[in-house]
Amino acid sequence: MRIVLPYVFEQLKQEVLDKAGLTIITPSDCQLLALNISKQTRKQISDTTIKRIYGFALSSSVPSLYTLNLLSEYCGYSSWDYFCDEHSKKQIKPQAKSVEKTSDVLDVLRKTTHNTLQALKNKSVIPFNLTIERESINEHLDVFLAGEYRATILTSPAGYGKTIGLCRWVESHLNKMLVTHNTDVVLFLNSKVLMGLSPGINLTDWLLALMGLPAGNGFDTIVDIDGLRHNNFYLIIDEFDGNVFKTEQLDLLFSMLLDFLAISSDWPGFKLILTMRSASWITCKRRLLLDNRMDEWFIGFMSDEHEERNVPVFSTHEIKELCRRINPAIKIPDVLHPEVSAFFSYPLFFQYYYQKNHTDFLLDELDHFRIYEVISSYIFDKIYAGKFTTEKVLLLRILIANGQFKDGKFLIDKLKIYDHLKTYRDAYNDLISIGFLRELNRCKEAMYDEYIEFTNKRLFAAVMAAQLLHDCGDYNSELCLKISDTIIPEYRVMVLKWCIFNGVKNKQYQIFTHLHKIDLYASERAILLTFLSSLIKRNFLLPADAKVGEIFFADQNGIFNYFFGYEFVSLEYEQALKELLTLNLNETLKIWINTCLSIVYIIQLNSEALEERIKILRRFPDEAFVDFPINPLYCVETIYSYFKFGVIPKRALVQITRFLFNGPSAKNNPIGSNNVLYLLALTTLSLSNNKSKMIRFITQLNHYNNVGGTHNLTYHFFLQIGLADTYFAAGDVETGLQIYTELQKNYKVDHLKYTPYMRACLDLLSAHALQYHSDIDYLKRVIEKMINNTEKSGYKLLKANTLSYYLEYENFNKMSDLNRAAYMKFKKYLHSTSFNPQCYLFNYYTAGEKIMS
């Protein structure tokens, strides 16, 4: 084993510089020095080797014997051994060499910072001049520099844009210093230069060598330099984490930084800034806690429960700003689609999308279905087309097989698969370095608790979908059962979307035959329907001769019932229904879709659109409505006539009465959800103001819902809403409150199951029940949210009545800010429709004068 004594090696390095006539050395000097050595010795040495020796490039070991002999020969010695013999017994006294020009030292620091900055800027996938300053990073560092903390960290998983954000801040800070003639010193380094530290060398000597000063003169040499003692000195080290260093190296270097902070405690101007990944920060934080030194460190605002990340993803504002810098002509909607916003908020995906589309960067053409194509391409490039392909595929399968959902996350116990990680070490390290995976350290006292996690939910969902298909062999009932039973709700729809995307991409359309077999909440089905609407609209990835209607409605009854219901009512649902009408569907399906659109427009209080749907429904022949238990057209016409003119046509009420006595016909409609029709009939019947008849009708519908063991919970929710409301109107407050309390209890148990429309219905019932219970605080939160929400929801009928009930309870008192804003919102709803408020406001006759005043 070759032993290189640190102080002897430092002497050799100094003699090489003396021989070359260099007082200080910078990275740009290394090439000329290498040529000079090669020319004099007639032996080759590369400039990269010189950079490693002087700490400007990665070095994980001591120099080779060839290099040591060559440098010794250059200095006039026959070999490295002879050089050691001459110097090892000498007492190396610190050279008290004075620096003639402080400007030389400062110039070295400026050059080093400039070179680091330029090297990192050149690595930016998006041209650096097109990147943006990160608001969170700028604010974090400005607060840190203004305070008394000695050190700070910028931490997050890989791919969050720490390096580019830091570079933007450094460049901006240097420019400000230039303009204001600020004499602060900034030394910006990439952590790889620290790999050049020889064993036994402390950080002080290393900094002295970097500045071109003799090592061994001590810390005072640094602070005695004019321009440093009374100024600020910012040491900034990027990428100080485990993907660069081995664990023991990282521990050693962090100890050296802590030692330097300790000996520089009397230098108030010294500040240390590090960037590191979350897993490395957890390790370093544990050391700080053990040493009781956390109070020296400014960690800023940690945006996660375990305090592992203070650099967030892109905000919506940052996404838009970056898009405009890349393409000033780009059209960006005021409100980004949630899928698009979530995709671009992850800097790694934004960077990849630019890389693939830099000549045609058009955000306005990127719908949320195309996002899956971009991520699929990313996975192909990084997993299936890169290095260690087979090992990565095998390792990902192992991770999926051994992971489990914990606290809403899919985590893999690192200890459990440690042997596999050793087998696939290169593949694992590569997945960590590209930001595909990350490590989570949850170790506590006397307990090892370290996990592996996919850095992004979309990446996990894509890998999980591929694994499910591999396990099941096809898109079949087994796959649907696995999605229902093994994937938690937070991930279920994401995985299913990937199954649909892969199925369509590979022309495996049988997935639509089995889709309705997957057990999804109503809220999950609403999200999935929007996704399918985008697929239909784009005719995405489908062959030119494909009949989209036949593909999506291969099992018409199952898929139709799966996606049709009151619970889905929203602006997105309206658009999805319109997209379905573009398909080649039969008359019955078209009647159902137009009926659902009519319901949407009733809830929107959109009289013009409702009139148009009635005209369309009237074009169908009478025979087309024969199989419907109750004619939906009659119901829609009745509601329209009442809301518009205050007149109630009798045809629908007659059919509802007949249904009440006779029940559904044995000749059932083979397609469509009768539950939608029954709820529409319930709304129609409510116009008659016959409370006892309403209660009998709801009771009968509940009975039909329980027949055959097919109890539909969502449908039952709407029936109970109607029943409680009817009891309140009938004066049976006790029964109404019992039902209301049970509905609220169920909602609090699992609110994620509820769609926005279901929540709006529950809020309306809360407002109606307000005079009978004291939950005013809950409703005030609802009203405040309704007032502050500027997005269109399409629930105008529900919201107008919710506000009306609330204002009636408050006796239309406009003294408070909340009540005043509620009243303004209420009046806005009244003026935005041509329907008659005397008819569509449920409490008009108890608070009519105050409503109109």
Q: What is the pLDDT of residues 189-243, one digit of tens each?
A: 888 777 656 555 677 777 776 776 666 666 666 766 665 666 788 999 998 887 7
What is the pLDDT of the chain when averaged over all its residues? 83
DSSP state of 195: G
By mean pLDDT, which of 147-161, 455-469, 782-796 is the weakest? 782-796
pLDDT at 659: 92
pLDDT at 652: 95
Q: 315 CB contacts (<8 Å, ≥6 apart)?
A: 135, 345
pLDDT at 362 > cutoff 60: yes
Tokens of 32: 């000329």
Question: Burial, 557: exposed, middle or buried (Cβ in 10 Å; 0-12, 13-18, 19+)?
Answer: middle
Tell me which H or E stretch contains 176. Answer: helix 162-180
Question: Burial, 122: exposed, middle or buried (Cβ in 10 Å; 0-12, 13-18, 19+)?
Answer: exposed
8 A C-beta contact, residue 219 and residue 264: yes
Report residue 672's pLDDT band, with 50, 70 and 90 as the boundaries. very low
Tokens of 30: 């290394």
pLDDT at 154 > cutoff 50: yes
Average pLDDT over residues 533-550: 62
Which phi-psi region, left, alpha or beta, contains residue 473 (left: φ > 0; alpha: ψ -120 to 50)? Answer: left
Q: 505 CB contacts (<8 Å, ≥6 apart)?
A: 376, 541
- Which residue's entry shows tokens 């000597």? 205
By mean pLDDT, which of 45-54, 67-76, 589-598 is the weakest? 45-54
pLDDT in tens, 651-662: 999 999 999 988
Average pLDDT over residues 457-479: 91
pLDDT at 291 > cutoff 50: yes
Report residue 3's pLDDT band, with 50, 70 and 90 as the boundaries. low
Q: How far is CA 94 from CA 8, 55, 555, 612, in A?
A: 13, 21, 87, 93
- Taking the mean position of all CA atoms in its chain, how far away is CA 796? 31
Residue 241's nearest CA partner among 308, 312, 168 is 308
d(CA 139, CA 149): 15
Q: How far is CA 464 from CA 158, 219, 396, 404, 460, in A?
A: 21, 55, 9, 12, 6
Q: 203 CB contacts (<8 Å, ≥6 apart)?
A: 197, 256, 257, 259, 260
Taken in order 385, 390, 395, 397, the sign of the CA dihedral is: positive
Tokens of 129: 């001049």
- The residue ranking higher by pLDDT, 123 or 668, is 123
Report residue 94's pLDDT band, with 50, 70 and 90 as the boundaries. very low
Question: What's at 697, amino acid-wise?
Answer: F
Average pLDDT over residues 511-530: 82
Q: How far is CA 655 from CA 372, 602, 651, 694, in A?
A: 48, 21, 6, 14
pLDDT in tens, 752-794: 889 999 999 999 999 898 888 767 888 888 888 887 775 666 8
Three-class DSSP category at 405: strand
Biggest alpha carbon–alpha carbon distance for the chain? 115
Report residue 306's pLDDT band, with 50, 70 and 90 as the boundaries. low
Q: How far is CA 413 from CA 86, 352, 442, in A?
A: 55, 30, 11
Tokens of 483: 């999605």
pLDDT at 774: 65
pLDDT at 640 > cutoff 90: yes
Percent of the chain predicted with pLDDT > 90: 32
pLDDT at 416 > cutoff 60: yes
Helix ranges, 181-246 (H): 203-211, 220-223
8 A C-beta contact, residue 810 and residue 770: no
CB-based contacts of 513-517 (< 8 A; 24+ apart in sequence): 513/554, 513/555, 514/475, 514/476, 514/477, 514/479, 514/480, 515/480, 515/558, 515/559, 515/562, 516/555, 516/558, 516/559, 516/561, 516/562, 517/477, 517/480, 517/481, 517/484, 517/558
pLDDT at 791: 60
Tokens of 119: 């090297």
DSSP string, 204-219: HHHHHHHHT--TTS-T
Tokens of 605: 């209080």
Rounded to two decimals, the pTM is 0.70
Q: How far is CA 564 from CA 476, 579, 590, 762, 797, in A?
A: 23, 14, 13, 20, 20
pLDDT at 339 > cutoff 80: no
pLDDT at 98: 43
Average pLDDT over residues 497-511: 84
User: What are the strands of the beta sheet with 151-156, ordered from one edge?
Assistant: 185-190, 233-238, 270-277, 151-156, 297-298
Question: What's at 167, amino acid-wise?
Answer: C
pLDDT at 555 > cutoff 70: no
Average pLDDT over residues 708-737: 90
8 A C-beta contact, residue 16 and residue 75: yes
Specify the length of the chain in residues. 853
pLDDT at 498 > cutoff 60: yes
Q: 90 CB contacts (<8 Å, ≥6 apart)?
A: none
d(CA 20, CA 566): 83
Helix ranges, 445-488 (H): 457-472, 477-486
Q: 247 CB contacts (<8 Å, ≥6 apart)?
A: 283
Three-class DSSP category at 423: helix
Report residue 153's pLDDT band, with 50, 70 and 90 as the boundaries. very high
Question: What's at 751, amino acid-wise?
Answer: H
Q: What are phi and psi of 236, to 5 degrees?
A: -115, 120
Q: 739 CB contacts (<8 Å, ≥6 apart)?
A: 720, 723, 724, 727
